[in-house]
Amino acid sequence: MSAWECDIDDCGKQFGSVEDAIVHQTTEHERRECEVCGSVVPDGYFAIRHAFDEHSRAEYVRSYDADSSAVRVREQVRDEVEEAADLKSVVDRLDELDGSELP
C-alpha cells in the first residue's frame, strides 16, 4: 500500500493510512476560512469536501481564482480519500481527541 502524503503547504509528512493523514490534517494544521462562505473548516480533506459539497464548481473557481484543472485535482483527491478511508472511524477518532464540532 502506498503512503499518504499531507500536501498542505510544505508539510509533506507521510502516513501509512489515509485515516491517519486526515486526523493529522485536521488536528495539526490551522483551520482555514472557506473563501466562498466564510465558514471555518479543517484544512485538507475536510476543506475539499466542504468546498465541493457545499458549493458549486463555479463558486469555487470564482472565489479561489482556480481553474478547471485545480478543481479536477481536488475532486480526484476527494474521490481517492472516500474510496480508501473509513470516514466514520476518522470522525470517531477526532471526537475523542477534542469535543469540537466538525462540519
Instruction: Give the interface with Zn ion as residue ranges (CB under 5 A).
Output: 6, 8, 11, 13, 34, 36-37, 39, 54
| Contact in structure between 63 and 36 (CB atoms under 8 Å) | yes
Q: Please state the closest distance from residue 29 (CB atom) to Zn ion, in A.
A: 6
Query: Would you mind telling me the total number of residues written for the chain in this entry?
Result: 103
Q: Which is nearer to Zn ion, 13 or 31 (CB)?
A: 13
User: With contact defined as beta carbons under 8 Å apart, do 3 and 14 qualify?
Assistant: yes
Nearer to Zn ion, 59 or 87 (CB): 59
Give least dist CB 45 to Zn ion, A.
11
Q: How many CB atoms lie within 10 A of CB 79?
A: 10
Q: Which residue has the cell 501509512?
A: 16
Cβ 3 to Zn ion shortest distance, Å:
13
